[in-house]
């Protein structure tokens, strides 16, 4: 008989060795005796004293070795008993046959929790002969869906083999606690309560581990992710590099142009980017460009590109002499090929980190230009208080890295600043007023881009007048007028109403000036009310019966007399009918030439405009003015030309104008050599000296005073070296101010409650007048409307006297010195700090200015303040208040400026500190 090793009756729970429970020997003996049959296999370690029992294979202990089993084909099963018991014959390595018996039940269900098992166990305690802690659970439970077969009695259960063949691999997806007929064997049962509890504990704790997926190698995943990101980065970098470099063509050494993106970059000689612009902004997407056709190309070395049926682009390097200066200029010319296309280029100031200056001022734009905002607006003169451009313009922009833009005057120019993005855009577009006269079929835009190694040298090079200096052609009388405007005040007599201006008014005003005793006589500027109606161009004899006697008296006192004239003719004027009959006025477009175009100007509700392009109008105007000069010995004239928006909307001149501002240019050029002109109210080109351009009229307020310095600096950068500021304390009248129009509502009520008045006019606030006077002391021209004596305050008079002495001793000689530099090189008398010395801090200072390179002025511009922040450019400076020496290139915080003093600093030689 074959023998084999006795099976280990311990429960196989490899994960928890502490839960192994050995079966007591007495219990094991009882189980073996109960299951012993004649066919049992003898165990090799079984005691010989004991009868060697045999039992059927199918032991529930999986740890015991199992012989290799070969299944034989089952015999035909016909009777019910065979079907129920499902007896199978298996041969094992010989003739011995081991009989396997399976239960009729198909699965065994284990209680969900240990408490449920304890309840079921209690029902079976006492019914078995096996001790309670060793009772088998193989037949104690049944699947809820398959009740236990009644034919399987207790005897059959007792004869169930204790060993079974190896189980088949468990199917995926099955519950850990369910067994079907294919998986079940007695070995799936548990032989003791403690073993079952340990099994349940193990199974319950192992559920999350089985549910979780196999642990992932996160280091490998991270490495693959990093490799993917690296590849993506290098691909993107290569793409950007290709489009920025491979698709970027170089022109003229320092110009790079990316055609798909239409981005142009300009570099200086040190390869630093000084200008970046996006061209043809109106084009959508990356439209491809093509070389121009041979008939569209030029033979001047220009590069030509065309976006089909849209735009044509020319780029050219202008010839220059490197020996004269270091400035290089490039010409840009855009041609629209359709009526609905507008050339539009935008110059970025954020990526290149630059600041832009020049152009013009507006209500929302001060200094520098990129700190403000304005939508696309025709670049013509207007009212600064109405969010239009100011009264003086220049198509010149310069940035802080040494690049400038000079736009051609024939371009129908519109400018926007920070409208949609942080950039300055220029666009060419026709409209029905500013650029109604089309010089070309479709809009064209021309401008030059000039570069140099720094901002100061570039500005000096562009405004250099060496080839045609401003002094060329000046007469001795012109030089005397220029010097007298700088060294002597201008007394502006500008009453609100016509009847307030009489000969006695002028005589009394000049007597008050003489009674001051410390101010020079200067120029007496009389507004347009010397006429009965604007456009009469003759003295109102009803109010000025003896004006010639009054003028002679003024001359004997040392004054010079100037009359204000305008090109407007009131419909109430005695000359209006004659002008209409002789067709001397601007006519209405698309109408009969005999019908004049009317407009409004200041207090005039209806007026015509003299057509300066008409050859018959110029002799007529000169005849009228010469008659006034001969009779009243007038010294000079001041041209109040209005702004572009004062022109009739549907204007049409004898000769076609580029834009409404060309009118004032022609008007000034026509008379600047035949008449003595001391100033113009508006300009878009530099008039011939001694003509000064005026700042726009400012109201009497602290906010208006703060705009004076930025406007002066902008006009100086624009190339106007001689600028005339407004009156000290503010102007009596300014465009758009309704309270100063005739018969204004509320006017009498306001004046009735004000105790400080002059001829019914409220005087500026005392502190405002003092601070304005301190600032005006250092400006090129001092203009007065309100005399300091009208305040009846000895302190005001004393400060005015001290400031006048300071101007005569220190300021006037400096202004006359830099007058020569302005006539020769075009540099302004009043300069921004970045023209004095370099440094990023000087670029943003808008409340200080310099006279030439020698004096820095920092006035108080806010009410109630006696301290301020002061920036001093590099160098050694002497404090004008206490005389101490100050180191430059730094900020001085909380610098004290009492009400009776003004902060200014005088440059000293570097070796001054050792003396």
> pLDDT digit string (tens) for 747-797?
333 333 333 555 556 789 999 999 999 999 999 999 999 999 999 999 999
Residues of the chain with CATH 2.70.98: 249-466
Give the pLDDT of residue 556.
Answer: 93
Spell out the alpha helix ranges (H) of 498-649.
Answer: 503-516, 547-557, 576-581, 617-632
Judge whether residue 693 has pLDDT over 60: yes
d(CA 769, CA 701): 10
- Beginning with the edge strand found earlier in the chain, give each strand of the sheet holding 374-378 in spatial order: 248-251, 255-258, 263-267, 273-278, 344-348, 423-428, 413-417, 374-378
pTM of the model: 0.72
Residues 6+ apart with CB under 8 A from 205: none
- Would you say 796 and 788 are in contact if contact means Cβ atoms under 8 Å apart? yes
Q: How far apart are the first and last CA of the chain?
A: 132
Q: Looking at residues 282-288, what average pLDDT do you find?
A: 75
Span of 257-266, 284-293, 856-865 with lowest mean pLDDT: 284-293
Q: Looking at residues 545-555, what average pLDDT do you find?
A: 92
* DSSP conformation letters of 28-48: HHHHHHHH-BTTPPEETTS-T
Of 250 and 411, more confident: 411
Give the pLDDT of residue 839.
Answer: 78
d(CA 413, CA 344): 10
- 166-181: per-residue pLDDT in tens? 444 444 444 444 444 4
Q: Which pLDDT band, with edges at 50, 70 and 90, does 162 fall under?
A: very low
Give the pLDDT of residue 136.
Answer: 43
Q: Looking at residues 448-470, what average pLDDT do you find?
A: 87
Of 852 and 384, more confident: 852
- CATH level 3 topology of 825-908: Immunoglobulin-like (2.60.40)
Give the pLDDT of residue 49.
Answer: 44
- Would you say 36 and 53 are in contact if contact means Cβ atoms under 8 Å apart? yes
Of 228 and 407, more confident: 407
Residue 44 tokens read as 């090799």
Give the pLDDT of residue 123.
Answer: 52
Judge whether residue 588 has pLDDT over 70: yes
Give the pLDDT of residue 745.
Answer: 33
Q: Which pLDDT band, with edges at 50, 70 and 90, does 470 fall under?
A: confident
Of 37 and 432, more confident: 432
Give the pLDDT of residue 210.
Answer: 46
Total H helices, total E strands in the chain: 19, 44
Of 611 and 222, more confident: 611
Reported CATH class of domain 249-466: mainly beta
- Would you say 309 and 296 are in contact if contact means Cβ atoms under 8 Å apart? no
Residues of the chain with CATH 2.60.40.1180: 825-908
Judge whether residue 152 has pLDDT over 50: no
Judge whether residue 915 has pLDDT over 60: no
Q: Looking at residues 55-66, what average pLDDT do you find?
A: 45
pLDDT cut 70: percent of the chain above it: 72
Closest CA relative to residue 188, chosen from 143, 149, 154: 143
Residue 207 tokens read as 């559920």
d(CA 784, CA 72): 131
d(CA 905, CA 877): 6
Task: Collapse the DSSP code of 843 into the 3-class scheme (helix H, G, I; strand E, B; otherwise coil) and give the result.
Answer: helix
pLDDT cut 90: percent of the chain above it: 53
Q: In whole angstroms, how large is the CA radius of gyration of the chain?
A: 53
Per the prediction, the chain carries an average pLDDT of 80
Judge whether residue 122 has pLDDT over 70: no
């Amino acid at each position: 008989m074959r023998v084999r090793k006795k099976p280990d009756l311990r429960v196989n729970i490899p994960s928890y060795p502490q839960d192994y429970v050995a079966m007591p020997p007495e219990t094991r003996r009882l189980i073996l005796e109960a299951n012993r049959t004649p066919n049992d296999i003898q165990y090799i370690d079984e005691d010989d004293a004991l009868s060697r029992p045999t039992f059927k294979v199918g032991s529930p202990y999986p740890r015991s070795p199992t012989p290799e089993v070969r299944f034989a084909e089952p015999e035909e099963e016909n009777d019910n008993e065979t079907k129920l018991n499902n007896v199978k014959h298996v041969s094992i390595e010989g003739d011995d046959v081991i009989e396997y018996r399976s239960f009729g039940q198909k699965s065994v269900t284990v209680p969900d929790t240990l408490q449920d098992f304890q309840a079921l166990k209690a029902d079976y305690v006492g019914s078995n002969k096996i001790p309670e802690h060793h009772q088998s659970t193989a037949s104690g439970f049944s699947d809820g869906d398959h009740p236990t077969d009644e034919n399987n009695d207790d005897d059959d259960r007792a004869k169930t083999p204790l060993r079974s063949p190896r189980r088949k691999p468990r199917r995926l997806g099955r519950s850990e606690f369910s067994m079907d007929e294919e998986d079940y064997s007695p070995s799936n049962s548990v032989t003791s309560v403690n073993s079952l509890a340990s099994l349940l504990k193990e199974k319950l704790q192992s559920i999350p581990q089985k549910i979780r997926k196999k642990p992932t190698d996160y280091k490998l995943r991270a490495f693959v992710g990093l490799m993917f990101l690296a590849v993506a980065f290098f691909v993107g970098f290569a793409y950007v590099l290709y489009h920025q470099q491979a698709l970027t063509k170089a022109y003229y050494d320092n110009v790079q142009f990316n055609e798909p993106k239409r981005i142009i970059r300009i570099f200086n000689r040190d390869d630093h980017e000084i200008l970046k612009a996006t061209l043809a902004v109106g084009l959508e997407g990356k439209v491809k460009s093509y070389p121009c056709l041979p008939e569209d190309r030029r033979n001047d070395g220009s590069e030509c590109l065309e976006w089909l049926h849209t735009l044509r682009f020319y780029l050219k390097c202008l010839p220059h002499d490197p020996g004269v200066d270091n400035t290089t200029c490039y010409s840009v010319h855009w041609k629209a090929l359709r009526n609905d296309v507008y050339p539009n280029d935008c110059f970025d100031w954020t990526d290149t980190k630059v600041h832009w200056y020049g152009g013009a001022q507006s209500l929302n734009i001060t200094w520098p230009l990129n700190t403000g905002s304005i939508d696309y607006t025709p670049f013509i003169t207007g009212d600064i208080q109405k969010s239009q451009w100011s009264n003086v313009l220049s198509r010149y922009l310069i940035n802080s890295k040494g690049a400038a833009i000079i736009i051609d005057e024939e371009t129908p120019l519109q400018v926007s600043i920070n409208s949609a993005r942080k950039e300055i855009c220029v666009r060419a577009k026709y409209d029905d007023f500013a650029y109604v006269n089309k010089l070309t079929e479709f809009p064209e835009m021309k401008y030059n881009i000039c570069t140099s190694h720094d901002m100061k040298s570039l500005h000096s090079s562009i405004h250099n007048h060496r080839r045609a200096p401003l002094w060329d052609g000046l007469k001795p009388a012109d030089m005397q007028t220029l010097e007298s405007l700088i060294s002597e005040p201008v007394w502006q007599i500008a009453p609100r109403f016509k009847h307030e201006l009489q000969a006695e008014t002028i005589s009394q005003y000049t007597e008050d000036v003489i009674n001051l005793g410390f101010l020079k006589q200067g120029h007496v500027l009389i507004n347009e009310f010397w006429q009965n109606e604007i456009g009469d161009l003759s003295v109102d004899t009803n109010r000025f019966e003896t004006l010639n006697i009054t003028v002679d008296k003024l001359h004997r006192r040392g004054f010079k007399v100037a009359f204000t004239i305008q090109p407007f003719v009131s419909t109430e004027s005695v000359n209006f009918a004659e002008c209409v009959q002789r067709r001397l006025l601007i006519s209405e477009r698309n109408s009969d030439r005999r019908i004049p175009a009317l407009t409004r100007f200041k207090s005039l509700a209806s007026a015509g405009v003299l057509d300066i392009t008409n050859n018959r109008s110029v002799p007529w105007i000169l005849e009228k003015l010469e008659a006034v000069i001969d009779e009243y010995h007038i010294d000079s004239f001041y041209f109040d030309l209005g702004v572009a928006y004062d022109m009739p909307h549907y204007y049409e001149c004898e000769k076609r104008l580029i834009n409404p501002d060309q009118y004032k240019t022609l008007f000034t050029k026509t008379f600047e050599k035949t008449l003595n002109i001391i100033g113009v109210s508006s300009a878009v080109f530099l008039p011939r000296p001694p003509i000064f351009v005026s700042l726009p009229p400012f109201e009497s307020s602290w906010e208006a005073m703060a705009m004076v310095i930025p406007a002066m600096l902008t006009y100086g950068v624009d190339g106007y070296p001689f600028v005339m500021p407004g009156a000290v304390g503010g102007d009596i009248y300014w465009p758009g101010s309704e309270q100063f129009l005739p018969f204004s509502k509320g006017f009498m009520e306001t004046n009735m409650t004000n105790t400080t008045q002059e001829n019914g006019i409220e005087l500026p606030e005392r502190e405002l007048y003092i601070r304005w006077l301190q600032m005006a002391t250092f400006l090129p021209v001092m203009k007065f409307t309100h005399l300091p004596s009208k305040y009846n305050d000895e302190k005001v008079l004393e400060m005015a006297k001290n400031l006048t002495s300071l101007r005569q001793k220190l300021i006037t000689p400096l202004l006359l010195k830099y007058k020569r530099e302005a006539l020769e090189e075009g540099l302004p008398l009043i300069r921004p700090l970045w023209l004095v010395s370099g440094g990023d801090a000087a670029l943003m200072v808008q409340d200080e200015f310099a006279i030439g390179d020698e004096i820095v002025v920092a006035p108080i511009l806010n009410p109630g303040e006696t301290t301020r922040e002061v920036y001093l450019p590099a160098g050694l400076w002497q404090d004008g208040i206490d005389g101490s020496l100050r180191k430059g290139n730094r900020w001085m915080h909380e610098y004290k400026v009492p009400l009776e003093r003004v902060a200014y600093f005088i440059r000293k030689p570097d070796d001054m500190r050792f003396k």
